[in-house]
Amino acid sequence: MKYTEEHEWLKPEADGIVIVGISEHAAEQLGDIVFIELPETETEVAKGDEIVVIESVKAASDILAPLDGEIVEINDALEASPGLVNEDPLDGGWFFKMKLADPSELDSLMTEAEYKNFID
């Protein structure tokens, strides 16, 4: 898995698709999540675009596109159960899957060890 400074994780799959979610640290900081607005599939995004809106009991936050690419799938379960992000941020609480415009850009992101140092 790779991580961004915005506390997103990216998990590459064998077919080149990347699953994206937020870290346990980010989920804890947000508190109980009560609403999530996900992007449409087939949406082309550029790194830094606001693509997910999260509302928690503490605040509203935007999730940015971690890299350039296309949204190919969203986690429909989050519409009915946004708390999945709090319960299982690294597995069941993923936001979307994307096909990267340039898969080599993953190399520019933090490893898990680098991310742990970043949040400490």
Ranges of beta strands (E only) in the chain are 2-3, 8-12, 17-22, 33-37, 44-45, 50-56, 60-64, 69-74, 96-100
CATH of domain 2-103: 2.40.50.100
The structural domains of the chain, with segments of one domain joined by +, span 2-103
Res. 119 pLDDT band, cuts 50 70 90: very high
Give 50-76 pLDDT, tens digit per residue. Answer: 999 999 998 899 999 999 999 999 999
Q: What is the pTM of this model?
A: 0.94
Give 3-22 pLDDT, tens digit per residue. Answer: 999 999 999 998 989 999 99
Residue with tokens 């991310």: 115
Backbone angles phi, psi at 89, to 5 degrees: -65, -25
Token digits for 16? 């080149």
Residue closest to 85 by CA, chosen among 42, 109, 55, 43 = 55
